[in-house]
């Protein structure tokens, strides 16, 4: 049954969101991955548009300005990078070139902007919009759940999403994966709110329909995987309204009768494309040309490597099981168990409701089921399944660990929330009853409270522990059921997510390298290195090179596809072994190689 959101629900959502933001803010020491570093660069370049807008507003919208300012990284929509750049300009504390002239080269066109508020270090300011969206998402998961699945399921879903090492780690980045997850979820929520319920208890809402159209535009303006949302909605809508499609005879002859078209669909056809266009400057002057290039870029995306059970996948066919198995391995164990329980509950409810239509004997069982809006569970299930199913297609690239189906995971958590609800209901069983004497009833109540508290602790604390002890290496997390991090070595699984592990060697580099040492940062990009400088995390005299033959130190990021390179470096340097190994959980993620000086022994 739908429970309208009251003040308590909003308060809980706010507390959850602020807690999540607080946890993210307290764990910002996460290395810059390759893609984030590119978006740092893009954000910096795009932020110049605000200067043009301020100085010569008439030119800001010209093709020349757009082509110049937004030229870089056109393969992704501009909105997130515009937000990262705006946040950086407003809150970031760029270096002062008069005090540190050498810092000029760390900025686009050698010109660091003047700080405005200067509250945060630069990478944090860039990350702020994504951090806020991640926090909003937690609140939104709770609110959606509280309204349509019940408070307990909602709270469980929000907490289980918060405490996922991979998702939590991705939530730190000035990237698109968690923002698009948030917008996808908000698209689903607002759409659901805009629809009339099939049992007639909720009327269509044009206001929520407008919100749904806006949310979808923002999702599309964040990342291309949002393009799969409208087909998903259409499939679900046709399926759940299939009985309303019928042939009727009129005086004009037979025609097909349709169910009422949702307001949101009209919004998708009008507001969404307009807003999508308006928020992506590259579309202003050449929408067709740029979109053609954009779609062809993603349709022919390079296949990067993925290491999965000892096989280095480089080209199709990729294993269809990849997203499912990876999720089962990289989501905390109790959450996986609750999800499976929730899935069984969904299947049972669907089966019982279906059978009850044809078998009256089942109706009594149906009447004992929770009162839910028709179509809700299938809506949740499809929103979970479709993002996974897309990556499961053998021709879709599977690089990037688990981030490419992250937008399905909040729905997985809502289903896990149903599992949690089932567990709590089960524990209530023996202590329920109204005919007990007052003393006994009180004791039963306390017993129930104790069981409930124990359930929350046992089902949420392990996930929280796993998450908060894997903040720096969240993408290398594997749950204890599969052996923990050791499974990466034992079974041959992907260990690291492109270039971020250098962050955990910076302390070693800063402390142990002689002045002006030449360091080959391997998979860490120039854009990441200059942000490390700008944030004061890397000694400025260290000379980055991307040529180990010309370097004295090499940072080997452990990827299966790079192991030849480690062999080449070892031979070139004549070193017996790495001088520093970053190995959380005992599994090497980064080996630092140095040309031997005779003083290697730590």
Partner 1 sequence: MNRPFVGSLAVLIVAAGYFVLARVQEARVPDAEEWSRAAQEVRSRWEADDWVLFSPAWAHAGAPWLAGLPMDIAEKTDWYEASKHPRVFVVASAPERSPTPPEGWRVLETIPLDRVTVHLWAPPEGETLAWDGRRHLEAARVSRGLGPQQVPCDTFRNGRWHCGAPHPWQNVGLIDRDIDGRVREVIWAHARDQGEPLEIAWQDLPEARRLTVHWGLTQRAVEQDTGSPVVAEVLLGDRVVARQTLDIHESGWFRHDIPLTGHEGRSFRIRITARRNQDRQFCFTADLWR
Is there binding between residue 424 and partner 1 (CB under 8 A)?
yes
Answer yes or no whether residue 421 interacts with partner 1 by CB under 8 A.
no
Q: Would you count residue 600 as binding partner 1 (CB under 8 A)?
A: yes
Write the DSSP string, 235-284: HHHHHHTGGG-EEEEETTEEEEE-PPPPHHHHHHHHHHHHHHHHT-THHH
**Site for partner 1 contains 156 (CB under 8 A):** no
Q: How far is the CB of 338 from partner 1 (least distance, A)?
A: 8
Shortest approach of partner 1 to residue 574 CB, angstroms?
Answer: 11
Task: State in angstroms the smallest separation of the CB of 38 from partner 1.
Answer: 26
Q: Does the protein bind partner 1 through residue 390 (CB under 8 A)?
A: no
- Dump the DSSP string for 485-516: THHHHHHT-----TTGGGGGGHHHHHHHSPTT
Instruction: Tell me what percent of the chain is helix, strand and coil, each rounded to the nearest 5.
Output: 65, 5, 30
Tokens matching residue 293? 């290039």
Q: What are phi and psi of 297, to 5 degrees?
A: -60, -45
- Name, in order, each residue with C-beta under 8 angstroms of 237's C-beta and a sequence gap of 6 or more: 262
- Dist. CA 578–CA 566, nearest whole Å: 10
Q: Do the Cβ atoms of 142 and 16 come closer than 8 Å?
A: yes
Q: Which is nearer to partner 1, 4 or 577 (CB)?
A: 577
Write the binding mask 273 to 312 for partner 1: x where contact by CB under 8 A, - elsewhere.
-------------------------------------x-x
Gap between the Cα atoms of 94 and 541, Å rounded: 19
CA distances from 287 to 150, 167, 220, 276, 300 (A): 44, 33, 14, 10, 20
Among 3, 104, 292, 425, binds partner 1 (CB under 8 A): 425
Closest approach of partner 1 to the CB of residue 20, in Å: 22
Cα separation, 440 vs 163, whole angstroms: 37
Which token pair is 590?
């980064």
Residue 343 in the binding site for partner 1 (CB under 8 A): no
How far is residue 69 from each of residues 41, 49, 520, measured CA to CA in Å?
A: 12, 6, 30
CB of 385 to partner 1, least distance (A): 23
Handedness of CA 515, 516, 518, 521 (dihedral sign): positive
Name the DSSP letter for residue 480.
G
Q: Which is nearer to partner 1, 466 or 523 (CB)?
A: 466
CB of 336 to partner 1, least distance (A): 9
Q: Which is nearer to partner 1, 438 or 514 (CB)?
A: 514
- 215 touching partner 1, by CB under 8 A: no
Binding of residue 586 to partner 1 (CB under 8 A): yes
Q: How many residues bind partner 1 (CB under 8 A)?
A: 62
The reply on whether position 462 binds partner 1 by CB under 8 A is yes
Asked whether position 535 contacts partner 1 by CB under 8 A, the answer is: no
Q: Which is nearer to partner 1, 394 or 536 (CB)?
A: 394
In 3D space, the residue among 527, 301, 463, 311 whose CA is nearest the CA of residue 397 turns out to be 301
Q: Applying CB under 8 A, does 574 fall inside the site for partner 1?
A: no
Q: Is 564 in the site for partner 1 (CB under 8 A)?
A: yes
For residue 125, which of 539, 538, 540, 534 has the smallest C-alpha distance? 534
Part in contact with partner 1 (CB under 8 A); list of ranges 13-21, 59-67, 165-173, 337-345: 337-345
Q: Is 502 or 529 the residue whose CB approaches partner 1 more closely?
A: 502
Q: Cβ 341 to partner 1, closest distance in Å?
A: 7
Judged by CB under 8 A, the residue of 14, 455, 543, 545 near partner 1 is 455
Q: Using alpha carbons only, how large is the chain's radius of gyration in Å?
A: 27
**Chosen residue from 458, 507, 540, 541 binding partner 1 by CB under 8 A:** 458
CB of 523 to partner 1, least distance (A): 16
Distance CA 488, CA 495 (A): 6
- Supply the minimum distance, in Å, between the C-beta of residue 72 and partner 1: 31
Mark the segment that binds partner 1 (CB under 8 A) among 7-15, 94-102, 361-369, 479-487.
479-487
Distance in angstroms (rounded) separating the CA atoms of residues 529 and 544: 8
552 binds partner 1 (CB under 8 A): no
Rule CB under 8 A: choose which of 97, 113, 273, 484 binds partner 1. Answer: 484
Q: Is 150 in the site for partner 1 (CB under 8 A)?
A: no
The first and second tokens of residue 386, run together, are 């479709």
Query: Residue 196, interface with partner 1 (CB under 8 A)?
Result: no
Min. distance of Cβ 588 from partner 1 in angstroms? 6
Among 429, 433, 442, 507, binds partner 1 (CB under 8 A): 429
Q: Give 489: exposed, middle or buried? Use CB within 10 Å, 0-12, 13-18, 19+.
A: middle
- d(Cα 13, Cα 22) in Å, to the nearest integer? 14
User: Closest CB to partner 1 among 287 and 333?
Assistant: 333
Closest distance of CB 486 from partner 1, Å: 5
* Contact call for residues 414 and 159 (beta carbons, < 8 A): no
- Is 459 a binder of partner 1 (CB under 8 A)? yes
Q: Which of 314, 321, 443, 510 binds partner 1 (CB under 8 A)?
A: 314
**Within the chain, what is the greatest distance between any pair of CA atoms?**
97
Task: Give the other-Cβ count within 10 Å of 297's Cβ.
Answer: 14
Query: Under the rule (CB under 8 A), what is the footprint of partner 1?
Result: 310, 312, 314-315, 332-334, 337-338, 341, 422-427, 429-430, 454-455, 458-459, 461-462, 465-466, 469, 479-481, 483-486, 488-490, 492, 560, 563-564, 566-568, 570-571, 576-581, 583, 585-588, 591, 596, 600-602
């Amino acid at each position: 049954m739908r429970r309208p959101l009251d003040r308590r629900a909003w308060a809980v959502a706010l507390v959850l969101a602020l807690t999540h933001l607080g946890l993210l803010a307290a764990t910002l020491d996460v290395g810059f991955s390759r893609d984030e570093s590119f978006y740092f660069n893009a954000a910096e370049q795009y932020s110049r548009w605000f200067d043009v807008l301020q100085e010569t507003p008439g030119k800001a919208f010209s093709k020349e300005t757009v082509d110049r300012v937004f030229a870089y990284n056109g393969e992704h929509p501009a909105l997130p990078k515009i937000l990262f750049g705006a946040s950086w300009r407003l809150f970031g504390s760029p270096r002062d070139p008069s005090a540190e002239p050498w810092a000029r080269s760390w900025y686009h066109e050698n010109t660091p902007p003047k700080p405005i508020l200067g509250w945060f270090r630069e990478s944090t300011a860039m990350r702020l919009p994504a951090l806020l969206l991640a926090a909003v998402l937690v609140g939104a998961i709770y609110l959606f759940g509280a309204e349509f699945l019940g408070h307990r399921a909602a709270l469980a879903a929000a907490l289980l999403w918060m405490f996922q090492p991979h998702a939590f780690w991705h939530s730190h980045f000035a990237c698109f994966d968690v923002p698009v997850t948030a917008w996808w979820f908000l698209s689903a929520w607002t759409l659901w709110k805009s629809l009339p319920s099939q049992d007639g208890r909720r009327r269509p809402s044009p206001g929520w329909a407008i919100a749904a159209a806006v949310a979808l535009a923002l999702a599309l303006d964040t990342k291309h995987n949002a393009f799969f949302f409208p087909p998903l909605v259409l499939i679900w809508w046709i399926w759940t309204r299939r009985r309303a499609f019928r042939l009727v005879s009129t005086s004009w002859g037979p025609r097909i009768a349709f169910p009422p078209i949702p307001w949101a669909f009209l919004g998708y056809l009008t507001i969404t494309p307009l807003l999508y266009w308006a928020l992506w400057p590259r579309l202003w002057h050449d929408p067709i040309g740029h979109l053609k290039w954009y779609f062809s870029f993603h349709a022919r995306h390079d296949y990067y490597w993925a290491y999965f059970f000892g096989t280095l996948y480089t080209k199709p066919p990729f294993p269809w099981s990849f997203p499912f198995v990876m999720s089962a391995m990289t989501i905390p164990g109790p959450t996986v168990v609750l999800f499976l329980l929730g899935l069984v509950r969904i299947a049972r409810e669907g089966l019982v409701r279906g059978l009850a239509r044809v078998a009256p004997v089942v109706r009594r069982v149906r009447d004992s089921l929770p009162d839910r809006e028709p179509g809700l569970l299938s809506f949740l299930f499809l929103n979970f399944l479709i993002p996974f199913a897309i990556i499961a297609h053998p021709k879709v690239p599977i690089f990037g660990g688990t981030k490419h189906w992250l937008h399905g995971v909040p729905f997985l958590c809502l289903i896990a929330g149903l599992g949690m609800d089932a567990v709590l209901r089960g524990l209530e069983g023996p202590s329920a009853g109204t005919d007990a004497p007052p003393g006994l009833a009180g004791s039963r109540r306390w017993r129930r409270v104790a069981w409930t508290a124990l359930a929350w602790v046992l089902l949420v604390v392990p996930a929280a522990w796993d998450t908060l002890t894997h903040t720096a290496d969240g993408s290398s997390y594997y749950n204890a059921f599969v052996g923990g991090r050791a499974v990466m070595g034992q079974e041959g699984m992907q260990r690291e997510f492109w270039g971020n592990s250098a962050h955990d060697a910076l302390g070693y580099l800063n402390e142990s390298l002689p002045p002006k040492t030449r360091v080959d940062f391997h998979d860490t990009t120039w854009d990441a290195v200059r942000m490390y400088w700008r944030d004061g995390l890397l000694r400025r005299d260290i000379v980055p090179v991307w040529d180990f033959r010309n370097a004295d130190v090499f940072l080997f990021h452990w990827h299966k596809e790079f192991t030849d390179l480690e062999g080449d470096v070892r031979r070139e340097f004549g070193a017996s072994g790495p001088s520093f190994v970053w190995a959380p959980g005992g599994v090497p993620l980064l080996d630092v190689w140095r040309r031997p000086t005779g003083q290697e022994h730590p």
